Copies of this chain bind each other. A is one copy, B any other.
Amino acid sequence: MLRPVPHNQVKLTDRFWAPRAAVNRRATLPIEHEQCRKTGRIDAFRLDWRPGRPNEPHIFWDSDVAKWMEAAAYSLADHPDRRLEARLEEVIDLVARAQQPDGYLNVHFTIVEPEKRWTNLRDWHELYCAGHLIEAAVAHFQATGRRKFLAVMCRYADHIAKVFGRGRGQKRGYCGHEEIELALVKLYRATGEKRYLDLAKYFVDERGRRPHYFDREAGKRGDVPAKTAKRSAYSPGDQPYEEWQAHAPVRGQKDAVGHAVRAMYLYSAMADLAAETKDAKLAAACRRLWKSATERRMFITGGVGSARHGERFTFDHDLPNEFAYAETCATIGLAMFAQRMLGLELDGRYGDVMERALYNGIPSGVSLDGRRFFYANPLAVHPEAYRHADQGGHVAPERQEWFGCACCPPNIARLLASVGQYVCSQGPGQVAVHLYAAGETKLDLGGRELRLEQSTDYPWDGRVQIAVRSAEPAAFILALRIPGWCRGAKAWLNGRPLQLARLVRRGYAHIRREWRDGDVVRLDLPMPVERVSAHPAVRHDAGRVALQRGPVVYCLEEADNGRDLNAISLPRSARLTARFDPRLLGGVATITARAERESAAGWENRLYRAAAPKRRAVRIRAVPYSVWANRRPGEMLVWIRADR
């Protein structure tokens, strides 16, 4: 079993992540603290809100603060900052004081509706909030070594373990919004207390069993059962309980369904548990759900969740571009799921998708200045269409400063503050490198420290050099991911060519050796610009290509190409030229090409006519999807019309 090498052992000095992480520290974290403060989310933990006052604590507010705390803890681990630390400790004090004598800890159900504690697990996010606080406490403990917050959350987890379970007098429930499960695995790993792993396993195993807890619970409330409630406008296409991935016990689930963030968090916990408990059936379910999510229901950006209504998965190959939801949180969840599948088994499919999400659909969620956020991440935008559609603020053609439901901003903050954790994994006798990025990774190999130094300009250049730094020789397998997008990869060990064909198994080159200080592996991963097609059943992308170079997916923006991006067509013969532009959008490789643009000349007042529009040659410029919408608002398009 491989475990991620924690972010605080990974120092990135690259041109993609390091600047993002710096902006995250300098701009995003303070802004989000301020948003949590001024919206009352932090003060809510004082438990002094009273009916009639403003800022009534919402059921999911705790989780927004928790994710900010987790992000702050990660940041402190790598970059000591007294002001940030003071802010974090202040919030921790508030959270700790909000804990009830019995261990319970939830603002809304302590002061707003105390009588409703644990009465609607389906809709009210109590365990979800608990999970995020647990993740924050683990991060804080790992960053500082201080146990105070961790102890608070252990007490809460122990309380939860008393309330829920299969024993007499216990509730056989589980949360409508998964999160507690993966958090408990983290708590188990941080504390070594197996009871937290057991509780996670209980929540995962109980899910979807009959008689259905959500209905029994609804009955007690005198509420409609979920079965009938399901055929609501909210998610009309779902089967009963699919919204919460509670339509069947998890080992029997076949497709990625329902609310996409919840699905990703559940599947992440399932993968963790399958690895921890060597549960083959659970692992098989994980693989099945992985395939459903990534081989039939994922946008090319790594986004998941096709529909705004229900923020959810729809059906195979349904990937609408303008109306893509692809919530930032869901794409982050997909990276988490991928990382955990890599913990279960080393396979390039997981690494490839993790990379796809990390370089595309996740960073698109935040502006380059770290101050504005996307909740939904569409793959095509016509600003006027959004003005006219029935879209909430979550779906807008420009990033927003904050949201009433503010899950995405702190989620991306914690991702960016800990992105180093996605670079490597480590297990007995094995180190796997998933992501290439300039920087240094410290490893502990059975008590011996060892460093891997990466020199590369990845993702803008495919040449990677990895040097081993070790005081003494160390025998282990170094497994290097050969990306799925790459054809013709080459590798050298200390200058001598390696026979990759013989070394690569499931997407990783396994180099077994007694490694010595100064050993150098060089990779050459050619990254020409590719025209990527979607599966023919994806009706939205028919006759179109997306441009991809290395792991980076590109888009056309109005700022570079004018309006009516769909009037542009890429001839088959067009040469696509990539060039790094250090002054553009924080430094990105752009792609330029000669293309053709249909002209409105000759159409006068006609809307339809029996002659194809005339075309003129134009030069187009594509920029990485991850940095779109950082200039003036306008159209955007990932899938470009392609001439055959």
Contact = CB atoms under 8 A, between A and B. Distances in A.
A351 to B, nearest CB: 16
A298 B607 contact: yes
Interface string A340-370: 0000000000000000000000000000000
B388 A598 contact: no
A641 B237 contact: no
A605 interface: yes
A291 B546 CA distance: 36
A569 interface: yes
DSSP class of A's interface residues: helix, strand, loop or mixed? loop
A236 B318 contact: no
Contacts of A569: 542-543, 644
B389 A609 contact: no
B531 A236 contact: no
B609 A388 contact: no
Interface in A146-178: none
A534 B306 CA distance: 28
A388 B539 contact: no
A403 interface: no
Given A607-B294, A607-B295, A600 B309 contact: no
A610 B307 contact: no
A564 interface: yes
A382 interface: yes
Interface in A559-609: 564-567, 569, 598-600, 603, 605-609
A314 B382 CA distance: 13
A537 B567 contact: yes
Nearest to A297: B607
Contacts of A471: none
B236 A387 contact: yes
Interface string A598-641: 11100101111111110000000000000000000000000001
A574 to B, nearest CB: 13
A315 interface: yes
A390 interface: yes
A544 B291 CA distance: 32
Interface in A307-322: 307-309, 314-315, 317-318
Q: A534, A536, A611 — which one has the most chain B CB atoms within 10 A of its CB?
A: A536
A535 interface: yes
B536 A388 contact: no
A625 to B, nearest CB: 14
A392 B548 CA distance: 38
Given A236-B387, A388-B318, A542-B598, A534 B612 contact: no
A600 B643 CA distance: 20
A612 B572 CA distance: 11
14 contacts: A236-B389, A237-B389, A296-B607, A307-B388, A309-B390, A318-B388, A382-B539, A531-B612, A532-B609, A533-B610, A539-B565, A543-B641, A612-B644, A643-B643
- Sort A-B residue pairs by CB-CB distance and give the 4 closest, nearest first: A237-B388, A539-B566, A536-B598, A542-B566
